[in-house]
């Protein structure tokens, strides 16, 4: 054990390390990556720069998070000033001004009646916090038997035990034992036979929400605390809610006293051309989880936005009692709060949510112009999100889309793939010419793909 610096000792530098072994990379084919690394060394606006000096057009806003574009001066300065002024303040039984201001700003963006915000450091933590708040809320309102949680097949809710339990992505679940008890799942809503090549929300499939009635009949409403869904499922490969589906879920939850949680880690902060998916779809949940675009990806931060009745139910008993035994050392960290306030300013000043809405029809046309290219079996879009589903190579699922990812990267475009689906979600500052460039490059890659 020592504090010596093995990187410096070998004559390498932090900008050019010569040993990649120590870092165990997340959600990455580590051995493959380390043979031919893809390193990003700087970013500005719509572009990354790779370690070999190439400009890479960012088709994914990093990981669905850099909504304001890279290197925004206002956010950079806010973080710099904050670290100088107050680097850290304890999160428990202490506060700092910016986090209170931020909570009010977020509440103002959220649907009416959702005026309370619990801070976390990531989407996964926001999800686990929301699930805990849901169960605890049922308890404090005298419905302690309501502990069951309902997720959805193909849902992605991060990687905490709560999130993978309600989530429905098989490889994220199967290695990790029995997960948490008392969870059930709705069916996913993806159906190529009825809905392939839909522009925006598919017309067919609202009835998938009725499956919740079946789960209620099976388990009884008195055992169910909450349902959690992504308004648009992102990480599983861009699955859109059929028209009427979210409305119906809301109705069924109301009928049975079940809380509805929207996981808006991807759909929050402008991605759909609105503050949240809740606004876009006109359906108000009981809690919203968010992260990513909250700080435009600059400093990690997540949050749970909570309906007033839920928050208020906890505010009883002696005033000196802690109402919720939950929180993180870095809940509402000063740097994250400063970054988030500056990100929200930037969104407002540049009207980036409105811009995303204005750009969406152009984006939609560009997505659907890929129809007929080799291997493409579906195209989906909403806001500034696209899903391009490819036919899998027999016996080699994921291989075709991953090859497209590698080829795009070599040509200077960052895309994201999940299974054999390509997902695109650029920063909201994207220009029409960059949309053309992005889909032009992608089309070239698809045409040449084995
Ligand atoms: C809907 C949703 N929930 C939760 C998460 C997890 O967020 P994080 O990776 O910040 O923990 C993600 C990440 O992509 C997400 O898309």
* Ligand 1 mutation pick, 119, 131, 155, 156, max ligand atoms within 8 A of CB: 156
Which ligand 1 atom is at minimum distance from the Cα of 160?
Answer: 11
> pLDDT band at residue 247, thresholds of 50, 70 and 90?
very high
> Ligand 1 centroid to 303 CA: how many Å?
12
Tally of structural domains, the chain: 2
CA 235 – ligand 1 centroid, Å: 8
Mean pLDDT of 90-108: 98
In a domain, residue 23? The reply is no
Atom of ligand 1 nearest to the CA of 235: 16
What is the percent of the chain where pLDDT is above 70? 98
Question: What is the C-alpha to C-alpha distance for residues 284 and 268, in angstroms, rounded to an integer?
Answer: 13
Contact status, residue 215 vs residue 397, Cβ threshold 8 Å = no
* CB-based burial label for 103 (10 Å; 0-12, 13-18, 19+): buried
Asked if pLDDT for residue 4 goes beyond 90, the answer is no
Q: How far is the CA of 12 from the centre of ligand 1 (A)?
A: 34
**Could you tell me the pLDDT band of residue 8, with boundaries at 50, 70 and 90?**
low
Would you place residue 19 in the very low, low, confident or very high pLDDT band (cuts 50, 70, 90)? confident
Residue 36 CA to residue 447 CA, distance in Å, equals 24
Q: What is the pLDDT of residues 393-412, one digit of tens each?
A: 999 999 999 999 999 999 99
List CB contacts of 32: < 8 A, sequence separation 6 or more: none
pLDDT, position 369:
98
Q: Which domain holds residue 221?
A: 76-349
Q: Tell me: do 313 and 345 sit in the same domain.
A: yes
The arithmetic mean of pLDDT across residues 19-29, rounded, is 95
Taking the CA of residue 163 as reference, the ligand 1 atom at the shortest distance is: 4
In a domain, 422, yes or no: yes
pLDDT digits (tens, 9 = 90+) for 428-443: 999 999 999 999 999 9
For the CA of 155, the nearest atom of ligand 1: 1
Q: How far is the CA of 318 from the centre of ligand 1 (A)?
A: 36
| 189 is a domain residue | yes
What's the pLDDT score for residue 1?
A: 59
CA distances from 444 to 370, 380, 388, 449 (A): 10, 19, 14, 9
| The residue to which tokens 């201001």 are assigned | 101
The mean pLDDT value of the chain amounts to 97
Angle between helices 245-256 and 211-219 (to 10 degrees): 20
State the pLDDT confidence band at 79, using cuts at 50, 70 and 90: very high
What is the model's pLDDT at position 2?
66
Ligand 1 pocket mutation, candidates 285, 292, 303, criterion most atoms within 8 A of CB: 292
Q: How far is the CA of 53 from the centre of ligand 1 (A)?
A: 30
270 and 228, same structural domain? yes
Q: Whose CA is nearest to atom 7 of ligand 1?
A: 123
Whether 17 maps to a domain, the answer reads no
**Residue 12 banded pLDDT, cuts 50, 70, 90:** confident
State which ligand 1 atom lies nearest to the alpha carbon of 267. Answer: 1
The answer to whether residue 424 is domain-embedded is yes
Look at residue 154 and tell me if it is in a domain: yes
Question: Are residues 201 and 240 in contact, defined by beta-carbon separation less than 8 angstroms?
Answer: yes
Final residue belonging to a domain, choices 329, 349, 369? 349
Are residue 193 and residue 124 in the same domain, yes or no? yes
pLDDT, one tens digit per residue, over 187-225 is 999 999 999 999 999 999 999 999 999 999 999 999 999
Atom of ligand 1 nearest to the CA of 234: 16
Contact status, residue 144 vs residue 109, Cβ threshold 8 Å: no
Q: Tell me how far CA of residue 387 lies from CA of 115, 245, 325, 335, 432, in angstroms.
A: 33, 19, 40, 33, 19
Q: Which of 325, 349, 373 is the last residue of a domain?
A: 349
Q: Picking from 4-8, 150-154, 269-273, which range would have the lowest pLDDT averaged per residue? A: 4-8
Same domain (yes/no): 266, 408 = no
Average of pLDDT values for 69-77? Answer: 98
Regarding whether 375 and 317 lie in a shared domain, the answer is no
Q: What is the pLDDT of residue 14?
A: 73
Residue 136 has pLDDT above 80, yes or no: yes
Q: Which atom of ligand 1 is nearest to 300's Cα?
A: 10
Ligand 1 atom 12 nearest Cα: 158
15: pLDDT strictly greater than 90: no
Summarize the confidence of residues 58-75 as an average pLDDT: 98
Q: Are residues 311 and 223 in the same domain?
A: yes
Same domain, 391 and 279: no
Whether residues 210 and 345 fall in one domain: yes
- For residues 339 and 210, membership in a common domain is answered with yes
Pocket test for ligand 1, best of 235, 268, 303 (most atoms within 8 A of CB): 235
Ligand 1 binding residues, C-beta < 6 A: 122-124, 127, 156-158, 230, 234-235, 263, 265-266, 291
Among 349, 377, 412, the domain boundary falls at: 349
């Amino acid at each position: 054990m020592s504090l010596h610096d093995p990187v410096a000792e070998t004559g390498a530098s932090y900008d050019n390390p010569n040993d990649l072994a120590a870092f165990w990379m997340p959600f990455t084919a580590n051995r493959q990556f380390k043979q031919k690394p893809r390193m990003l060394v700087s970013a500005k606006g719509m572009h990354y720069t790779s370690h070999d000096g190439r400009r890479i057009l960012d088709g994914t806003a990093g990981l669905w998070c850099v909504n304001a574009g890279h290197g925004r001066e206002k956010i950079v300065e806010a973080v710099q000033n904050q670290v100088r002024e107050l680097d850290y303040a304890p999160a428990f039984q202490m506060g700092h001004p910016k986090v209170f201001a931020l909570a009010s700003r977020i509440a103002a963006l959220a649907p009416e009646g959702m005026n309370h915000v619990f801070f976390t450091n990531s989407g996964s933590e926001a999800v686990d916090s929301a699930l805990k708040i849901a169960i605890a809320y049922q308890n404090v309102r005298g419905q302690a038997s309501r502990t069951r949680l309902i997720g959805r097949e193909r849902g992605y809710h991060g990687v905490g035990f709560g999130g993978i339990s309600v989530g429905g992505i098989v490889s994220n679940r199967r290695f990790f034992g029995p997960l948490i008890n008392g969870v059930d799942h709705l069916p996913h809503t993806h159906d190529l036979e009825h809905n392939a090549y839909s522009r925006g929300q598919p017309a067919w499939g609202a009835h998938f929400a009725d499956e919740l009635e079946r789960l209620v009949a099976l388990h009884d409403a008195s055992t169910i605390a909450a349902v959690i869904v992504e308004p648009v499922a992102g990480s599983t490969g861009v699955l859109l809610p059929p028209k009427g589906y979210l409305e119906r879920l809301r109705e069924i939850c109301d009928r049975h006293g079940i809380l509805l949680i929207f996981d808006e880690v991807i759909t929050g902060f402008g991605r759909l051309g609105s503050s949240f998916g809740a606004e876009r779809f006109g359906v108000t949940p009981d809690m919203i989880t968010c992260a990513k675009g909250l700080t435009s990806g600059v400093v990690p931060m997540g949050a749970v936005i909570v309906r007033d009745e839920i928050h208020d139910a906890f505010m009883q008993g002696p005033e000196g009692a802690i109402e919720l035994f939950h929180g993180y050392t870095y809940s509402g960290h000063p740097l994250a709060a400063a970054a988030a306030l500056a990100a929200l300013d930037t969104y407002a000043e540049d009207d980036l949510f409105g811009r995303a809405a204005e750009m969406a029809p152009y984006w939609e046309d560009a997505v659907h112009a890929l129809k007929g290219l080799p291997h493409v079996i579906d195209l989906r879009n909403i806001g500034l999100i696209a899903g391009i589903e490819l036919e899998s190579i027999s016996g080699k699922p994921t291989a075709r889309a991953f090859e497209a990812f590698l080829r795009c990267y070599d040509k200077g475009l960052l895309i994201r793939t999940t299974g054999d689906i390509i997902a695109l979600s650029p920063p909201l500052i994207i220009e029409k010419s960059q949309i053309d460039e992005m889909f032009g490059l992608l089309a070239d890659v698809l045409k040449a793909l084995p």
